């Protein structure tokens, strides 16, 4: 019987208030352009992925930090509205994270992140959430919170927990962390910075899923490489596509048979990413 400590997906990561301006084109360095639209929304890789997992049907909890401010209250409400458990969302003495985002009419984007409370998330906060992390079917993480937080969460994962890392923004990763990872989901740029899929497998990762934008994705395991075809769609704004992919992938892994269903889960995730 499920309890308030049993979740399909537990996400450890960032939560930002996104400040989004729509422009005809993105500015060049030193240039000012006018926006023809503006809105604010719940963002941050962790928040986006948690909400995507919940929308895909997974019972989802979020572990992160926001400030004691209006933006933090806004993010809490956004989580609750999408059915994400926020019992382990800490309120800290730092401003809630922000992301300044420009989106052009041809669906390109430019993003500047102000981490704020996300960089105050501590190992102690992770230890306080140890029980839900260890009991999760899937633990999903990114790199917009301190690396020691990510490492601690991975170490706390239960024997039956599938550990997924979206290595963004790209950073050097220690072998001690990689050894805990069942799935890593870099884009092509991040894969190169991490030394390539084969190197990641040799360092202990179970499976590498490389997202390739309009070309779909590539699954690399010790058994070989499988291509995941893209879902045909005309892009409008690609800002959250990768996060939707990771959230949907984690939900499908939790709900449809674990790592044995990885290829099937990737097809569902590709659709979610394309439609984000």
List C-alpha distances in Å: 238 to 103, 142, 274: 9, 18, 8
Instruction: Please state, in angstroms and rounded to a whole number, the distance separating the CA atoms of residues 93 and 76.
Output: 16
DSSP 8-class letter at 44: S
125 annotated active-site: no
Which ranges of 87-174 does DSSP label H, i.e. alpha helix? 123-128, 130-135, 147-156
Strand, helix or coil at 135? helix
Instruction: Please state, in angstroms and rounded to a whole number, the distance separating the CA atoms of residues 64 and 73.
Output: 14
Instruction: Please state, in angstroms and rounded to a whole number, the distance separating the CA atoms of residues 74 and 67.
Output: 11
* Catalytic residue (one of 8, 85, 182, 243): 243
Q: Are 50 and 247 in contact (CB under 8 A)?
A: yes
Q: Give me the active site residues, please.
A: 243
């Amino acid at each position: 019987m499920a309890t308030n400590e049993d979740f399909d997906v537990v996400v450890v990561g960032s939560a930002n208030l996104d400040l989004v301006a729509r422009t005809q084109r993105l500015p060049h360095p030193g240039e000012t352009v006018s926006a023809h639209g503006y809105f604010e929304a719940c963002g941050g890789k962790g928040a986006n992925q948690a909400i995507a997992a919940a929308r895909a049907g997974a019972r989802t909890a979020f572990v992160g930090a926001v400030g004691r401010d209006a933006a933090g209250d806004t993010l809490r409400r956004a989580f609750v509205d999408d059915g994400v458990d926020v019992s382990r969302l800490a309120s800290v003495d730092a401003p809630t994270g922000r992301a300044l985002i420009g989106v052009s009419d041809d669906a390109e984007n430019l993003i500047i992140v102000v981490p704020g409370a996300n960089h105050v998330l501590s190992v102690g906060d992770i230890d306080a959430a140890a029980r839900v992390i260890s009991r999760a079917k899937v633990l999903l993480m990114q790199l917009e919170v301190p690396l020691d937080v990510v490492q601690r969460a991975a170490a706390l994962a239960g024997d039956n927990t599938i550990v997924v890392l979206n290595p963004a923004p790209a950073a050097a990763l220690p072998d001690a962390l990689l050894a805990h990872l069942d799935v890593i989901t870099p884009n092509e740029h991040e894969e190169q910075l991490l030394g390539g899929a084969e190197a990641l497998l040799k360092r202990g990762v179970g499976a590498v899923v490389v997202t390739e934008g309009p070309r779909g994705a590539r699954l690399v395991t010790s058994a070989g490489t499988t291509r995941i075809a893209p879902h045909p769609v005309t892009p409008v704004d690609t800002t959250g596509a990768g996060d939707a992919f990771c959230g949907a992938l984690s939900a499908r892994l939790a709900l449809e048979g674990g790592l044995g269903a990885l290829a099937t889960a990737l097809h569902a995730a590709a659709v979610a990413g394309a439609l984000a």
